[in-house]
Chains A and B, each alone.
Chain A
Amino acid sequence: ETGVTQSPTHLIKTRGQQVTLRCSSQSGHNTVSWYQQALGQGPQFIFQYYREEENGRGNFPPRFSGLQFPNYSSELNVNALELDDSALYLCASTLDRGRRDNEQFFGPGTRLTVL
């Protein structure tokens, strides 16, 4: 158990719909990162939030957006879902940014299926 939780566990949506995934970080962790992991691939960095502001973004279109709240929770929103968005979505929290020994604590993930 990493102390990071995600909801829901599984989700099925249809193409064109919108989805919100939620993550609750470890208490005191002010940095959260979101990843997309397609089947058989490594996780791909979507973006990172630090103290409620976006702190870096991977190669994902603007329809992927996020929020981070003061209570160490965060959201990943995806608009206009496409079939290729089907993946495991992982959030990971870290105690603080910029430390080279920063360990990321991963949540269990949300499995999104887009039909």
Chain B
Amino acid sequence: QKEVEQNSGPLSVPEGAIASLNCTYSDRGSQSFFWYRQYSGKSPELIMFIYSNGDKEDGRFTAQLNKASQYVSLLIRDSQPSDSATYLCAVKETSYDKVIFGPGTSLSVIP
């Protein structure tokens, strides 16, 4: 059973701090990794994807991938109250587009 696990929440950080979200996956054949943000009652929206080892930065967000450790993380710098949401880690096989989601980590940014 291929699994994706995320650090349990809820996670609370003060406004302006760095939020760190972690994810591990079991399938070594996984090729692509995604971070989604989901506000309550809404559908997931893509923040970033990464498929090469190392860091990928986009504005205040940095995704980090370590395939040897089967680990992917998301850092949110200068956290804002509007970042308060559930963050979903997702892992995809390349052969077809089956995406396995983790259970999500709830983030609260306290003003």
Which of B42, B45, B96, B102 touches A56 (beta carbons < 8 Å)? B96
Chain B, interface size: which category? 20 to 34
Q: How many A-B residue pairs have CB under 8 A?
A: 70
CB distance from B9 to the nearest CB of A (A): 11
A-B contact pairs, 27 of them (CB 8 A): A31-B97, A33-B99, A40-B103, A41-B103, A42-B4, A42-B102, A42-B103, A42-B104, A43-B44, A43-B88, A44-B101, A50-B96, A58-B98, A88-B43, A90-B43, A94-B97, A97-B96, A98-B95, A100-B31, A100-B51, A100-B94, A102-B32, A103-B46, A104-B46, A107-B43, A108-B43, A109-B42
Chain A interface (Cβ < 8 Å from any Cβ of B): 2, 31, 33, 35, 40-45, 48, 50, 55-56, 58, 88, 90, 94, 97-104, 106-109
